[in-house]
Chain A
Amino acid sequence: MRSTTIITLVLLYFVVCIGLSIYAKIKTKKETKADFFVASGTIGSVILFLTALATAFSAFAFMGQMGMVYNYGSSAIWNFFHYAIFSYPLFFIVGSKLWYYGTKYGYVTPADFLVHRYECRTPIRLIVGLIICVYFSIFYIVIQVKGCGWALQETTGISSSLAMFIIIILMAIYVALGGMRGVAYADVMQALILVFGVLIVAFAMIINEGGLTNLFAKALEVDPTVIQPKQKAREIISGGLVMALSMPLWPMIWTKYYSAKNLKAAYNVATGCGLGTVLVTVSLPIIIVCGLKIAYPNWPAGKADVLIIRYVLDHTSAVIAAFVVAGLLSAAMSTAGALLLLVSSVFSIDIVEIIRENTKLQLKDHHFVLLGRIFIVVILLVSFWLSLIPMGQLVKIGIQLAYPGYLLAVPVVYAGLWWKRANKYGAVTGLILGLIVLYITMFVVKNPFGIAAGIWGLAVCTIGLVIGSMVTKPSSDNVLREFGLLK
C-alpha cells in the first residue's frame, strides 16, 4: 500500500512534467535556436525566480548539504552562508550586463559573449564551451541521474538501472520537446515541490520530537558537539568563496540571464537563487541535522548524504515520503534539465560554429533546433551509460573541477566588461594557466596551505589575464565601443 501510494504520486509528478513541456511546445510560435535554447529572452520575473531557484539547487543541495551539516556541524552552515554574502553583487551587476548584451546581440551559449567581446572564436569556444561547459557539466548530469535512480530504487523497490532508464526517458521527452521554455515551466513546479519537500521534512522532525525546543535539546543530549565547527577556518572561508563567487556564473545560471524578458526578470535570477540559499542550504539544515542526529546518532560519515531520504522512509507517512522523494527528483531533474540544455547548446552552436568556420556548411535555424534535440538524446544516453559504469579517474576529475572550473570565468567576464585593455591573448592565457593550476592544486599538491584549489586557479587565471593583455595589442576600437569601454 505504502509503495503503491509513493509510485502513484511519483508517476503523477512525471505526467505533469511532460504535460508542462507539451504546453511549452504548443505555446512556441516559431522554433529558432534562440527560442529553443534561451526562450528568445521572453521568460518573465515569476517563472525566472522559480527556475533559478530550482536550477541552482541540485540533488547535492537536497541530500549532500544535509550530510555535510551532519558531519561538520556549523562549519558547513558558515560555508553555505558565503553564497548569501558574496554572490549578490555578481548576480546583479554582472548578471544585468550579461542580460543586456545577451538580448541585444542574441547570445545563446556562455561562450557567445566571450567570443564577441574578445574577438576570438575557436580557442574560446573550445575552452569555455567544450571544457568548462561540457566536460565539467556532463558528470553532474550523471550524478543527478544516479541520485534519482537511487531515490526511486529505495522508495519503489525497482532496480537502480531501470529507475535511471525511466528518468532518462522522461528527461529526453520533456527537455527535447519544450527546450528552455519547457524546462522553465517544469522548474516552476519543481521549485515549489523542492522547497516544500525540505520544509515538510523539517516540520515532520519538529512534530515527531514534540516541538522545536525539544528537538534541539534532544539533539544536544545525543551529540553535545552537534553544532560545533569541525573544519579549519581557512578551509571554510576559501571553500565557501569558491562556491559563492562562481555561483552567479555557473553556465546553467548564466544562460538564465539570456532568457530574461527584462531587467526585472534578470534580477529575479538572483532573488530565486538567494531564497534557495536562505532556506535550503542555511536555515533548514539546522533543524534537519538535529532530527537526523536523534534518529541516526552514529551513521557512517561517508554515507551521510542518504540520511534525509532514509529518515522520511523510516519516520513519515507514505504521502509525505512520496512528496519528499518528488522533492529530491525535482532538485535533481531541474538541475540536470538545465545542464542538458546547456551541453546540447554548446554542441549545437559552439562546436558547429567551429566546423562551419572551417567548411562551407550552411545551416538554418531549424537545423540548430533539430541538432539540439538529437544532442539531448545522445547526451542522455551517454549519461545513462556513464551512470552504469564505475566512476573512473576522468569522471572524478570532471566532478571535482566543476565549480572551481566555473570560477575561472569570473576574471575573464569581469575584465571583459570593465577593463578595456583585456584582450583575447590575455583571456586565453588566463584560462589555460588557470585550468593547469587548478588541476595541480586539486590532484597533485592538494589545496596548498589549506586554501581551496579554486582560489589558486582564480589567482593564476587573473594574473595570466592581466599579463597576457598588457603585453599584447588591445581589442579593436569597434568592439570596445560596443561594450561601452571606449567613447
Chain B
Amino acid sequence: MNNNKYEKEKFEYYIDNRERKKREKIYVLITIIIGIAFELLVYAMHVNFPSGMIAGIPVFAVAVWTLILAHYILFLILGGAWVLLLKDDDLKDWNK
C-alpha cells in the first residue's frame, strides 16, 4: 500500500485534529487534578503518618494496590485509548 497518498489525511488526523486536541487538553487537566490530590496525600502521609488507621500493613497494601490498579486500567489503558482516538485509528485506510 502506498502510504504517501495518505500523508495529508494522516497529518490532519494525527496532528491538526480538533477532537484530538480537545481530548489531550481534558487528559492533561485531569492529570493535573489527580496529581495535586496525589501530592496532598503524599504530604499528609509524611507530615502525620496515620499509624492508628493503618494498624497493619494489609490496609496500606490493599489501598496502594487498589489505587494503582484502578488508575492503570481507567486512566492508562482506557483513558489512553480514548485520548489517542485508537478506536477510530483502526478504521483508517492507511491501517487496513
Contact across chains for A85 and B71 when beta carbons are under 8 A apart: yes
Contacts of A86 in B (CB 8 A): 31, 35
> Interface-forming stretch among A152-160, A226-234, A402-410?
A226-234
Interface residues of A (CB under 8 A from B): 74-75, 77-78, 81-82, 84-86, 88-89, 91-93, 96-97, 100, 104, 212-213, 216-217, 219-220, 226-229, 231-233, 236-237, 240, 262-264, 267, 270-271, 274-275, 277-278, 282-283, 286-287, 290, 483-484
* Bound CA–CA A263/B77 (angstroms): 14
Q: Decide: B80 and A233 in contact? CB cutoff 8 A.
A: no
**B64 with A77: CB separation less than 8 A:** yes
Scoring B49, B80, B86 by chain A CB atoms within 10 A of each residue's CB, the highest score goes to B80
Most-contacted residue by chain A among B35, B68, B77 (CB, 10 A): B68
Closest 10 A/B residue pairs (Cβ)? A233-B46, A216-B57, A484-B15, A100-B14, A274-B76, A286-B61, A78-B42, A233-B43, A89-B31, A278-B72
Interface string of B20-63 (1 = CB under 8 A from A): 00001001100100110011001101110101001011101100
In angstroms, Cα B31 to Cα A263, docked, is 21
**Cβ of B76 and Cβ of A88 under 8 Å apart?**
yes
Query: Please, which residues of chain A bring their CB within 8 A of the CB of B45?
Result: 74, 78, 229
Using CB atoms, name the residue of chain A closest to B45. Answer: A229
| Cβ–Cβ contact A93 & B24, under 8 A | yes
Q: Contact string, B59-91, partner A, CB cutoff 8 A, digits 1/0?
A: 011001100110110011101110110100110
| Interchain residue pairs with CB less than 8 A apart (9) | A78-B45, A78-B46, A88-B75, A89-B31, A212-B58, A227-B60, A275-B72, A278-B69, A287-B61
* Min distance, Cβ B7 to any Cβ of chain A, angstroms: 7
Is B16 located at the chain interface by the 8 A CB criterion? yes
B2 on the interface (CB 8 Å rule)? no
Contact yes or no, A237 B42, CB < 8 A: yes
Do residues B56 and A286 form an inter-chain contact, with CB atoms below 8 A?
A: no
B44's nearest neighbour on chain A, judged by CB, is: A233
A107-B82 Cα distance, complex, nearest whole Å: 27
Chain B contributes a number of interface residues (CB within 8 A of A) equal to 45
Q: Which residues on B sit within 8 Å (CB–CB) of A75?
A: 46
Chain A residues with Cβ under 8 A from B81's Cβ? 267
Q: B46 contacts A232, CB within 8 Å?
A: yes
Q: Contact between B76 and A271 (Cβ–Cβ < 8 Å)?
A: yes
Q: Distance (Å) between the CB of B81 and the closest chain A CB?
A: 7
Which residues of B are found within 8 Å of A263, using beta-carbon distances? Answer: 14, 84, 86, 89
Q: Which of A82, A92, A275 has the most CB of B within 10 A?
A: A92
**Minimal Cβ-Cβ distance residue in A for B4:** A104
Select which of A74, A89, A100, A270 is within 8 A of B10 by beta carbon. Answer: A100
Quick check: B64 and A270 within 8 Å, CB to CB?
A: no
Contacts of B47 in A (CB 8 A): 233
A484 partner, pick from B16, B24, B58, B60, beta carbons under 8 A: B16
In addition to A86-B35, A93-B24, A227-B57, 6 A-B residue pairs with Cβ atoms within 8 Å of each other are A84-B72, A84-B76, A92-B83, A229-B49, A236-B46, A283-B65
| Nearest CB of chain A from residue B56's CB, rounded to whole Å | 6
Give the interface of B toward A (CB within 8 A). 7, 10-11, 14-16, 24, 27-28, 31, 34-35, 38-39, 42-43, 45-47, 49, 51, 54, 56-58, 60-61, 64-65, 68-69, 71-72, 75-77, 79-81, 83-84, 86, 89-90, 95
A86–B36 CA distance with the chains assembled, in angstroms: 10
Collect the chain A residues with CB atoms within 8 Å of residue B24's CB.
89, 93
**Bound form: Cα–Cα A75–B16 in Å:** 42
Q: Which residues of B contact A228 (CB under 8 A)?
A: 49, 51
CA distance A227 to B38 in the complex (A): 18
Minimum CB–CB distance from B52 to chain A (whole Å) comes to 12
CA–CA, A232 to B45, complex, Å? 10
> Given the complex, which residues of B lie within 8 Å of A231, measured CB to CB?
46
| Of A81, A96, A277, A286, the contact of B14 (CB 8 Å cutoff) | A96
Check B83–A93 contact: CB distance below 8 A: yes
> Could you tell me if B68 and A81 are in contact, using CB atoms closer than 8 angstroms?
yes
Specify which chain A residues have a CB less than 8 angstroms from the CB of B15 in the assembled complex. 97, 100, 483-484
Chain B minimum-CB-distance residue to A244: B35
Query: What is the distance, in angstroms, from B9's C-beta to the closest C-beta of chain A?
Result: 12
Q: Is A92 touching B84 in the complex (CB atoms < 8 A)? A: yes
Decide if B68 touches A278 in the complex (CB within 8 Å).
yes
Q: Which residue of A lies closest to B14 (CB)?
A: A100
Residue numbers in B under 8 Å from A96 (CB-CB):
14, 84
B residues in contact with A233, CB < 8 Å: 42-43, 46-47
Q: How far in angstroms is the closest Cβ of chain B from A227?
A: 5
Query: For residue A84, which residues in chain B have a CB less than 8 angstroms away from its CB?
Result: 68, 71-72, 76
**Residue among A228, A263, A283 with most chain B CB within 10 A:** A263
A220–B16 CB distance below 8 A: no
- The answer for the CA separation of A213 and B34 in the assembled complex, in Å, is 31
- Bound Cα distance from A275 to B72, whole angstroms: 8
A75→B42 CA distance, assembly (Å): 9
Which among A74, A231, A483 has the highest number of chain B CB atoms within 10 Å? A74
Task: Kindly list chain A residues whose C-beta atoms are within 8 Å of the C-beta of B89.
Answer: 262-264
Give B62 Cβ to nearest chain A Cβ, in Å: 10
CB distance from B70 to the nearest CB of A (A): 10
Q: Which residues of A contact B35 (CB under 8 A)?
A: 85-86
| A236 CB to nearest chain B CB (Å) | 6
Which of B34, B56, B75 is close to A216, meaning CB atoms less than 8 Å apart?
B56
